[in-house]
A and B are shown apart, each in its own frame.
Chain A
Amino acid sequence: MSAHVVGNTGVMLGRSIRHVTRSMDTIITVTITPIALMLIFRYVFGGAIQTGTGNYTNYLMPGILLIAIASGVSYTGFRLFNDMQSGIFERFHSMPIARSSVLWGHVLTSLVSNAISVVIIIGVGLLMGFRTSAGVVAWLAVAGILALFTLALTWVAMIAGLAASTTDGATAFSYPLIFLPFLSSAFVPTDTMPGPVKAFAENQPVTAIVNTVRALFEQQPAGNDIWAALAWCAGILIVAYALAMRAYRRKIA
C-alpha cells in the first residue's frame, strides 16, 4: 500500500513538475517582483534606511525570499484549481490508485518550484552584494525553515484551489500574504514603527521567520525567534491542512 502511495505520488510529481518546467514564465513571474523589490529597496531606499547593519542586501534577503514563496504558492492553488475544473482530477479519483497522491503531487511540486525561485533570487542577490558566512548547518537550517514555510503556505493554497469557484479565487489568497513582509522586520527595523503597527509587526509570523533566517545567515544566535518561527509555521500548517482536508472531503463526497 505505501509503495503504491510513493509510486503514484512520484508519477503525479513528474506530471506537475512538467507543468512548471513547461511554463517557465511562471517562475519568471514569481521571481521578477521580489527581484524588482530587492533592487528598489537596495538602490533607491537603501541609502536612507538605517538598519544598524552594514550590508543592506543581506538585511533584505530573508523578506524577499518570503515574498517570493508567498507569491509562488498562488500557482499551486492555480494548478490544483485547473485540475479540478478539467476532468483530470475525477479521472485520477476514479482510478485504482492512492487518492492522496493527487494532492501530494501538487504539494511536492510546490516545494520544488519554490526552491527553484529561491535559488534564482539568492543568485541575483549574490550579484547585488549579498554575502553570508553561513556554514553547511546554517544553510540546512535556512533551507528547512523556508521549506516548512513553503509547506505551510502550500496547504493554504490547497484550500483555495479546492474550495474556489473561479481562477481568481484560487490565487487571490496570496495577495495579503505578499504584503505581510512590509508590516514586519523584513525591510526596516520595527523599533521606529508607531505603537499598534509595531505590535502587529513584532507578533506576526514573518518577523519571526525573517529574524531567524537573518540570524542564520549572519551566524548569530537566533534566540527565541527560531521557536516562534517554527511554532507559526507548524501552526499554520496544521490548521491549513485540516481545512484543506475538509474542503477536499466536501469535494469528493
Chain B
Amino acid sequence: MQTPPLAIHVSGLHKSYGKMQVLKGVDFAVAKGSIFALLGSNGAGKTTVVKILTTLLKPDGGKATVAGHDVVSKPEQVRESFSLTGQSAAVDEILTGRENLIMVAKLRQVKNPRQVADDLLQRFGLAEAAGRRVGTYSGGMRRRLDIAMSLIGNPPIIFLDEPTTGLDPEARIEVWKEIQSLANSGTTVLLTTQYLEEAEKLADRIAILHQGTIIVSGTLAELRRLLPPAKAELVERQPTLEEIFLAIIGNKEGVRR
C-alpha cells in the first residue's frame, strides 16, 4: 500500500503556558488534499496546535513540518505554503469588504488585486456588501470574508480554527460548502472544531485532542469500529461521534449538548 504524501506532520509536540502543560506529546499527520479535523472540547489545546503550525507560537518540544518545512527552523518557507483563518475573525472592521481583500491581495503580491477581490466577493455572496465597512457585517458575513481573505494566492494548505463557532445553522452550512469545495480543488484543510457533527460531516480523518494528547485518530469508520458492535444492534443506528468520544474519554467533562 502506498502512503500519500503528507502536507502536515506533527510528532511529540509539547507546549506549556507557564506551569500549565497544554500539549503533552501530540502526534498526527495530514495527507495532501484531505480534510483533517482536530476535535476537542474548549481549552483542549486546538488553537495552541494551530498557532504552532502557523508559526505564531514556538513549541517547547517535538517536531512539526508543514509542506515539508520545519515550523521552527524554516518559518518563512512554511508561511509561503498556507493561509490561516484564526479563531477570532481577522478582518479589518474599518475597511470595506473589498478593501480587506485588496489589502491581502497586495500583501501577497498577486496580480490584479482588484479582480481577485471582485471574484471572491462574488463567490462568497458579498458583492452587494463589498463597499460597506466590515463593522456593519453580520457574524456570518465576517466569517465568509475571513475565509475569502485566506483563499487569496491559492495557498495549498488552509488552517481553519473553529470556522463555524458562533454562526447560525444557515451560515454554518454555507461555510461547510466552501470547505468542501476547497478540498475538492485539491487544497489541504486542517480545521479544528468542538462540534462532533462538523467533524463527521466534513473530515476525511479525525483526531481527538484530549488532555494534551491525541487519544484517537482515524477515519469516521475507524472511529466507529472502536465501539462494541452490540451497541449498534441495540439502538438500530450508527453511533455518533459523540458517543465514540464519550466511550473513549470515559467522562463527560467538556462535552456540551
Contacts and interface: CB of A to CB of B under 8 A. Distances in A.
Contact of B56 (A14, A86, A252): A252
Interface string A84-98: 001110111111110
Interface in A155-207: none
A87 B47 CA distance: 12
A8 interface: yes
Contacts of A15: 92, 95, 103
Interface in B131-167: 133, 149
Given A91-B84, A95-B108, A86 B93 contact: yes
Contact of A253 (B57, B89, B93): B57
B80 to A, nearest CB: 5
A11 B152 CA distance: 16
Contacts of A253: 57-58
A6 to B, nearest CB: 12
B95 A18 contact: yes
B106 A90 contact: no
A95 B79 contact: yes
Interface in B72-123: 76, 79-80, 82-84, 86-95, 99, 103-104, 106-109
Contacts of A7: 106, 109
Contacts of A18: 94-95, 99
Given A87-B86, A90-B86, A94-B79, A11 B92 contact: no
B107 A23 contact: no
A86 B103 CA distance: 16
Given A8-B107, A15-B103, A94 B54 contact: yes
A87 B95 CA distance: 15
B180 interface: no
Contacts of B56: 90, 93-94, 252
Given A19-B94, A87-B89, A87-B90, A96 B84 contact: no
B55 interface: yes
Nearest to B77: A96
Contacts of A90: 51, 54, 56, 84, 86, 90
Interface string A18-44: 110011000000000000000000000
Given A94-B54, A94-B84, A86 B108 contact: no
Interface in B25-69: 51, 54-58
Interface band, chain B? 20 to 34
A96 B103 contact: no
A211 B83 CA distance: 52
A86 B95 contact: no
A88 B95 contact: no
Nearest to A11: B106
A88 B106 contact: no
Contact of B55 (A14, A88, A94): A94
Contacts of A95: 79, 83, 104, 107-108
Nearest to B51: A90
Nearest to B106: A11
Interface in A129-169: none
A86 B88 contact: yes
Nearest to A252: B56
A99 to B, nearest CB: 9
A65 to B, nearest CB: 27
Contact of A97 (B84, B99, B107): B107
Contacts of B133: 22
A15 B109 CA distance: 16
Indicate the member of A90, A93, A94, A252 with the most B CB atoms within 10 Å: A94
B79 A96 contact: yes
Contacts of B93: 86
Interface string A242-253: 000000000011
A151 to B, nearest CB: 24
A93 B55 CA distance: 8
Nearest to A20: B94
Contacts of A91: 84, 86, 90, 149
A14 B99 CA distance: 10
Contacts of A23: 94
Nearest to A251: B56
Contacts of A92: 107
B26 to A, nearest CB: 19
Interface of A: 7-8, 11, 14-15, 18-19, 22-23, 86-88, 90-97, 252-253
6 contacts: A8-B107, A11-B103, A22-B133, A91-B86, A91-B149, A94-B54
Interface of B: 51, 54-58, 76, 79-80, 82-84, 86-95, 99, 103-104, 106-109, 133, 149
